[in-house]
Amino acid sequence: MKILVAVKRVVDYAVKIRLKPDKSGVETSNVKMSMNPFCEIALEEALRIKESGRASEVVAVSVGQAQCTDTLRTGLAMGADRAIHVEYPGTLYPLSVAKIFKALVDAERPALLLLGKQAIDDDCNQTGQMIAGLLKWPQATFASKVVLDEGNKVATVDREVDGGLETLSLDLPAVITTDLRLNQPRYATLPNIMKAKSKVIKKLTPLDLNVEIRSDLEVVQVTEPPKRQAGVILSSVDQLIDRLKNESRVI
């Protein structure tokens, strides 16, 4: 069974975000970039499935600018067998990425597609769902536990939902997006970093996959949230209701 894992290159989670002076977005030059934490968890799960003998190959895929190869190399150092980089220098939105993945899945025919539930830069939480929709595959998002049956035909997935845990049974092939408590990703140790040097990163463009990148979305402006104002102690409930109604206009 082949597993495809989507990994995204994002600003490192520990970095304090700064805005570009022209407010067109977040500053990314000279800033530490890393693999999206949820993508690390997805890749770790794929590697564990492979180590248990259930999968024959784990392929890491990233879509974006040239430096995505750094993220893919990390993925290879963690243990992925090979990688695919779909190079596109511009801005990408979930639907475009989903279309690219549909084309890749049609070509590679994996039995399982794993993604992080969302990327920590845009927090969209859409790509996995959209891919499943385009492929007409079953999906389980926010996975906190994944168990495959004997014949690799059915995946039983625990999902973290608002009310608690929901268990779904999916027929493979399927899309699963991972949540925080699924596993603890491994470190890339030096011997594996060395082994990764000989692993292949295949380069493709959206054109190779017959996908046209266009977006119905345009980022107009990115600003910081307003500075937190000091609190006020009110003297009565009536005053509170008045403030909520007439000042904050929330009731």
Partner 1 sequence: MQRLFALTSSLSRRTRSSAAFSTSLLFDNTQKQFKESVAQFAEENIAPHAAEIDRSNYLPKDVNLWKLMGDFNLHGITAPEEYGGLGLGYIYHCIAMEEISRASGSVGLSYGAHSNLCINQLVRNGTPAQKQKYLPKLISGEHVGALAMSEPNAGSDVVSMKCKADRAKGGYILNGNKMWCTNGPVAETLVVYAKTDMTAHSKGITAFIIEKDMPGFSTAQKLDKLGMRGSDTCELVFENCFVPEKNVLGQEGKGVYVMMSGLDLERLVLAGGPLGIMQACLDVVLPYVKQREQFGRPIGEFQFIQGKIADMYTSLQSSRSYVYSVARDCDSGIINPKDCAGVILCAAERATQVALQAIQCLGGNGYVNEYPTGRFLRDAKLYEIGAGTSEIRRMIIGRELFKEQ
Residue ranges binding partner 1 (CB under 8 A): 12, 14-16, 30-32, 70, 73-74, 77, 187-191, 193-194, 197
Q: Are 213 and 88 in contact (CB under 8 A)?
A: yes
Cβ at position 44, least distance to partner 1 in Å = 14
In the chain, the amino acid numbered 19 is L
Cβ at position 69, least distance to partner 1 in Å = 9
Q: Are 28 and 45 in contact (CB under 8 A)?
A: no
| DSSP bridge pairs for 113 | 4, 175
Q: CB-wise, 103 or 193, nearer to partner 1?
A: 193
Q: Is the C-alpha dihedral spanning 99, 105, 111, 116 positive or negative?
A: negative
Q: Are 67 and 141 in contact (CB under 8 A)?
A: no
Which of 33, 40, 31 is closest to 12 using CA atoms? 33
Q: CB-wise, 91 or 189, nearer to partner 1?
A: 189
Q: CB-wise, 59 or 76, nearer to partner 1?
A: 76
Which of 42, 171, 182 is closest to 118 using CA atoms? 42
Q: CB-wise, 1 or 26, nearer to partner 1?
A: 26
Q: Is 67 helix (H, G, I), strand (E, B) or coil?
A: coil
Cβ at position 62, least distance to partner 1 in Å = 15
Q: CB-wise, 100 or 196, nearer to partner 1?
A: 196
Cβ at position 194, least distance to partner 1 in Å = 7
| Residue 56 DSSP symbol | S
Cβ at position 61, least distance to partner 1 in Å = 19
Kindly provide the b/e burial profile for residues 151-162, where b requires at least 16 CB atoms within 10 angstroms of the residue's own CB: eeeebebbbbee
Question: Cα dihedral angle (87, 90, 93, 99), rounded to 10 degrees?
Answer: -40
Q: CB-wise, 94 or 185, nearer to partner 1?
A: 185
Cβ at position 119, least distance to partner 1 in Å = 19
